[in-house]
Chain A
Amino acid sequence: MTFAGCRQIEQVLVGGAAVGDATLGASMRHHLQTCSSCRRHQGTWTLVRRSALVANDVLDDLTRARVFGRVQAALGAGATARAGRERPGRGGRVRFAWSMAFAVVPILAFVLGTRLRHSESTGGAATVALEPYALHVTAQPRLAVPDKRLDHLELPPYAAMRARLGPAADLTLAGPLELTVRDGDKPRVELALGRGTLLGDFDGSGGRSLRISTADATVDIVGTRFMVVATAIRTRVAVDHGLVRIESKGRVRLVGPGLAWSTDEEDVRPFDAWTADTFHRAALGRWQDLVAPPVPSDAKAADRTEGAAKERVSGAEDTDRGEGARPARRRRVHVRRGIVVAVRAGSQAHGPSPLTGSPAGGAPLAAAAMPPSTPAPPLEGAPPPAVSALHPASSPGPSVPAPAQVQAAEPPTQPRATVATLYKEAERALRRGDDAAGKERLVSLVRAFPGDVMADAARFELALLAKKDGDAAAAMAQIREILGHDASGPFVEPARFLRCRVYLDGDPEAAETCLTRFVRDYPQSPHDDAALRALIELLRGKGRCAKASQLVEMYLQRHPNGPFAAEAARLRSHCEE
C-alpha cells in the first residue's frame, strides 16, 4: 500500500470523517490492522507527530507581547527609514512622471540659483548636514528629534541617534559622541569624529565620497556598511560590506568585509562576535540596543564635581573643535534631563553654553559632561579602553579633571549589561529555578532601562512571579506600572488580563468588573475565551443565571468551537435562577 493510500484510510478513520458504509469502515479498519506497510507508516507518523509536538507550541503571554513590541519597533524603524524615500504606487507613476517632467526644470533652476547665491554670499557653506530622524535616550526613549539640520552633534553616553547625511549616508550614532561635519559642500564630505561610535551605511554611487577623521586616523569610505569607534588614543574600524581605506601614523590599511582594524594594532583581523552582533542589531533596526544605561540620578560624586566638569567641557569646546569647522554656523544637540535641545552655537559663542549654563531645574548632567578623552564605547563586549586613556595626563583637554570625576567617568572593567543580556540572565536564572536571582536581574533591568519595551516584559515577569508567590499587592504594583505609562503598548492587554486573574484570587467583585471590561475591550484576545468563562462562572456562583446566560450567548457567538462550547450550550438550556 502506498503512502497516500494508507494516509487516506487513516485520515478517514482517525480524522473523524464519517464513513457512510459500515462495511467499508470495517474493511478500512481491518486493512489498517493487517497491512504491514500501513502499520509501518502509521508508526512513523505517530513518531513524527510526537517529535513535532514535543516542543511547547503554546504561545505564552510574555512571548506574544514581547514579539509584538519588537514588531512595532521594526515597523516604526522601517517607516521612519522609508519616510524620506517613499515611491508612489504603480497607478500614479505615469502621472507622477509627467508632473516631475514639468516641475523639474523650474526646480533645477531654483536650486541651482539658490546654491550659487548661497555659495557667493557665504563662501561655501555646508550643503550636506546631519538630519536626525530618530533619537533614543534610555531614560525617555520616545523623545522627538529636533527638526533641524546640524553640523555639530554631541551625545551623552545614554543616547543614540539615527541621522541622514545627505541622500547617500545613513548614520547610527551612539554616545558619548562628538561629531562635526566639515566640507559638506565638497565632493568629499568629511566628518570629524572626536569620540564615539558611528555605524554608517554609505552609498558612494552619487559621486561623493566620505572621509572620517579621528584623533589618530583618517578613514576613506567609497561605499560600504562600516563602523568606526573613536577614542582619544585609538580608532577601530570594522567593515560589514564594501571596502574602507584607513591611514594612521603613516600606515595604510585596506579593510574589507568581515574585517576590522584598530590603530593600536598592526594587522587587520576578522571582526569579533560583538561587532557582528552590533551590525546585525543595527540591520534589524534595533539600534537602540547600542545605548548604555543612564547614569543614576543619585551619582553624588558627579554632582559634586559638576562645576569642574562644566569648565572642562567648555574648555574642550574652545580647543578641540577642528580648524576646518565653522563655529559661527554650528548647531549643537545635547540632551538635558531628557529634553532635546538644539541651539545655534554661533548665537551663544561667548555666553554660557547649554552645557555650561545651569540646566532647568538645577540638576546636573554628569554624563553629558564627560571629558572628550574618556574612552567611548560603553557597549557590551566592546574592546576595553587602554588605561592611559583614563589618565588625566593623556587628556588633550586644557583642564585637569578632578580625581573624583575621573573615577565617576571610568568605564567598568567588564562589559556593561544591556537590556538583552540582563533579560537573558534573568531567563536563565528563572529556568533553573533560581527565582531570587531572576527577580534581581529583572529589577535591575527595570531600573536601568525604565523606558525600554523589555522593561515592560520584565515588569510582567515580576508580576507573574509575585502572583505565583501569592503576593497580590506586588503583582498589582507591577501591573500598574505597565498600564500607567502606556495605554497601547504590547503588554497592556496581557497585563489587564493578569490583573483580572489576580483579582480572581481574592476579590471577586473587582474581578467581575475587570473581566467585564476586558471582554468588552479585547474581543479578539486569545484570552477572551477564558475571560468569558470566568465571568460566567462568577455570575453563576452568585446565582444570576439570567445574566450569565447573556454571556453564554456571547461565548457561543464568539467561540462556537471553543473548549467551553459544549458546556455553554448545556448552560443555555438549563438555566436555573
Chain B
Amino acid sequence: MVQPMGGGGNRLGDGAVRATPAFLPALVPLWPQWLLAEALSFTRERPAPETSEEELVARARRNEPEALQTLYQIHSAAVYRRLTHLLGADPEREDLMQEVFVDLFRQLDRYRGGASLRTYVLRIVSHKACDHLRQRRRQRRVSAEVPRFQPATEVDASELSSGAPSPEERVGHAQELAIVEEALEKLTPKKRIAFLLRVVDNLSLKEIAEQVGATVFTVAQRLRHADRELQGHLARRKRDRP
C-alpha cells in the first residue's frame, strides 16, 4: 500500500516526503478532459527525459548548472545517509556534505569513468569522514572542554524496537547504545569506517576496499582488529557495570 503524502515530519517541518494520500479518491472530482489530456500529453510525446550518467558528467564538466543540480539530486541522499552511518548524528554532516559535492564538482575532470559515479562520490565521502573522525579524536584529546558528541542523547528507544518498552528497557537500550558508540569512538577512523561499511551498509570486502582506497587484505585486517577491539571494549564495560 502506498504511504500517504504529506505525512511524516522530521526536523523543522515535514521535510522528506514518503507518503501518499489515502484520501485522494474522495477529493478527485470530474476533471475536464482537456486538462487530463494536457497533463498526460508529455508522457506520449516526451518519454522521460532520462539522461545517461556519462552525458550528465560531461555537461557538469562544462559547469552546466542543470547538470550539477541533477547530479546533486541523484547522489545527495546517498551521501547524507552514508555520512550519517559513518559519523552518527554529527552536527557537521551538512558541512561535510557540502565539501563532498564541492570536491566532486571540482574534481570531475579526474573522474575517468572506471567505477560508477556513485562509487566515486562515496569514496570521497569515506575520505571526508575519515578526516573528520581524525579531527574529532584530536579535538577530544587536546581539550577536555570540547563537548563530547553523544548520539545517545538523541536516542528515542521507542523507535528502536517494536512494542512498547518499559522505561527501564528504554534506559537500558540507551545505555547499551552509548557504550557501543563509545567503543566505536575508540576505534581508529580507518577501522571504524571499514567496520561500519561492513556491518551497517553490508558492503563486501571488495566494495569496501574500493571505497576506502585500500587492498582487500588490508580491509580484512582492519575488520578483524576492529571487531576484536570492539568486543574487548564491550566485555570490559560489561565487567565494570555494577
Q: Which residues of A are interface residues toward B (Cβ below 8 A)?
A: 2-4, 7, 11, 15, 40-41, 44-45, 47-64, 66-68, 70-72, 74-75, 78-79, 427, 430-431, 461, 464-465, 467-468, 488, 490, 493, 497, 501, 504-506, 508-509, 512-513, 516, 520, 522-527, 530, 533-534, 537-542, 544, 547, 550-551, 554, 557-558, 563-564, 567
A2: B residues at CB distance < 8 A: 224
Q: How many Å lie between the Cα of A288 and that of B180 in the bound state?
A: 42
Contact B13 A508 (CB under 8 A): no
Q: How many Å lie between the Cα of A134 and that of B156 in the bound state?
A: 47
Number of chain B interface residues as a range: 35 or more
Contact A40 B77 (CB under 8 A): no
A501-B17, A504-B27, A538-B24 given. 15 additional CB < 8 A pairs?
Answer: A44-B180, A48-B200, A55-B89, A58-B18, A58-B81, A60-B15, A64-B76, A68-B101, A71-B101, A497-B17, A504-B21, A508-B29, A509-B35, A513-B35, A530-B5
A79: B residues at CB distance < 8 A: 63
Q: How many Å lie between the Cα of A41 and that of B234 in the bound state?
A: 11
Contact B12 A430 (CB under 8 A): yes
Chain B proximity of A500: nearest CB distance (Å): 9
Listed stretches B41-49, B112-120, B125-133; interface member: B41-49
Task: Among A49, A523, A526, A541, point to the contact of B48 (Cβ < 8 A).
Answer: A523
Contact A4 B13 (CB under 8 A): no
A53: B residues at CB distance < 8 A: 85, 200
Q: List 23 A-B contacts (CB under 8 A).
A: A2-B224, A3-B224, A7-B198, A41-B231, A47-B176, A51-B181, A56-B84, A59-B77, A60-B10, A60-B16, A61-B17, A71-B72, A71-B98, A71-B102, A430-B12, A430-B13, A461-B12, A461-B13, A464-B14, A513-B38, A513-B39, A541-B25, A542-B31
A-B contact count (CB 8 A): 254
Contact A67 B76 (CB under 8 A): yes
Q: Is B122 on the interface with A (CB-CB < 8 A)?
A: no
In chain B between 37 and 86, which residues have their CB closer than 8 angstroms to a CB of chain A? Answer: 38-40, 42-44, 46-51, 63, 65-66, 68-70, 72-74, 76-77, 80-81, 84-86
Smallest Cβ-Cβ distance to B32: which chain A residue: A509
A534: B residues at CB distance < 8 A: 5, 20-21, 24
Smallest Cβ-Cβ distance to A497: which chain B residue: B17
Contact A523 B35 (CB under 8 A): no
Chain A proximity of B223: nearest CB distance (Å): 7
Contact A67 B97 (CB under 8 A): yes
Contact A541 B202 (CB under 8 A): no
Q: Which of A54, A57, A539 gathers most chain B CB within 10 Å?
A: A54
Contact A541 B28 (CB under 8 A): yes
Smallest Cβ-Cβ distance to A77: which chain B residue: B102
Contact B2 A567 (CB under 8 A): yes
Contact B35 A57 (CB under 8 A): no
Smallest Cβ-Cβ distance to A89: which chain B residue: B109
B159-193 Cβ-contact flags toward A at 8 Å (1 or 0): 11000000000000100110011001000000000
Chain B proximity of A262: nearest CB distance (Å): 26
Contact B17 A542 (CB under 8 A): no
**Interface of chain A, helix or strand or loop or mixed?**
helix
Q: Is B196 on the interface with A (CB-CB < 8 A)?
A: yes
Q: Which 5 A-B residue pairs are closest in the complex by CB-CB distance?
A: A60-B15, A464-B13, A55-B89, A57-B84, A541-B28
Q: Is B230 on the interface with A (CB-CB < 8 A)?
A: yes
B42: A residues at CB distance < 8 A: 516, 520
Q: Is B30 on the interface with A (CB-CB < 8 A)?
A: yes
Smallest Cβ-Cβ distance to B30: which chain A residue: A542
Q: How many Å lie between the Cα of A57 and that of B159 in the bound state?
A: 14
Chain B proximity of A235: nearest CB distance (Å): 31
Contact B15 A62 (CB under 8 A): yes
Q: How many Å lie between the Cα of A430 and that of B11 in the bound state?
A: 9
Contact A61 B15 (CB under 8 A): yes
Contact A4 B17 (CB under 8 A): no
Smallest Cβ-Cβ distance to A523: which chain B residue: B48
With known contacts A61-B15, A63-B94, A75-B106, A554–B31 Cβ distance under 8 A: no
Chain A proximity of B148: nearest CB distance (Å): 15
B76: A residues at CB distance < 8 A: 59, 64, 67-68, 526
Chain B proximity of A450: nearest CB distance (Å): 20
